[in-house]
Amino acid sequence: MPSLPLLRGGATSTFVVECYWPEITEEQAREALSRVAPLQVSSGPADEVRSLGCILVPSDGMVLFLFRGPSEDLVRERSERAEVPFDRVVESIQIGVGE
């Protein structure tokens, strides 16, 4: 699968899907991630949404799913189809070490 362009000058953005999920466990987060990752929203290459993993904060009952894709709507659709109990989807900027 070809890699998607980065936010800088690219056609895709990074999104965070925020889930406030009291008493979430690592096992539940992994299971939700396994539902989100393989789903395909559309067959067109311009509509590709890619899961980048998640960050679990069990002490706060929160998991943040990370995606790269062309629009918030497509990321929201992916999350809804996977039945992830999210509160909101927000565009974010992923900054790596040394960037």
CB 17 within 8 A of CB 55: no
Residue 57 lies in a domain: yes
pLDDT tens digits for 2-55?
Answer: 444 444 445 579 999 999 999 999 999 999 999 887 655 556 544 588 899 999
Q: Which CATH number do you get for residue 87?
A: 3.30.70.3090
Structural domain contains residue 4 = no
Instruction: Tell me, yes or no, whether 60 lies in a domain.
Output: yes
Structural domain that includes position 66: 13-92
**Do the domain assignments include residue 97?**
no
**Is 6 among the domain residues?**
no
In-domain check, residue 1:
no
* 2 falls within a domain: no
**pTM of model > 0.85:** no
55 burial (CB, 10 Å; 0-12 / 13-18 / 19+) is exposed
Give how many domains the chain has, as a whole number.
1
- Contact present, 10 and 3 (Cβ < 8 Å): no
Annotate 24-41 with DSSP letters as a single string: --HHHHHHHHHHHTT--S
Which of these, 65, 62, 70, 69, lies nearest to 82 by C-alpha position? 65
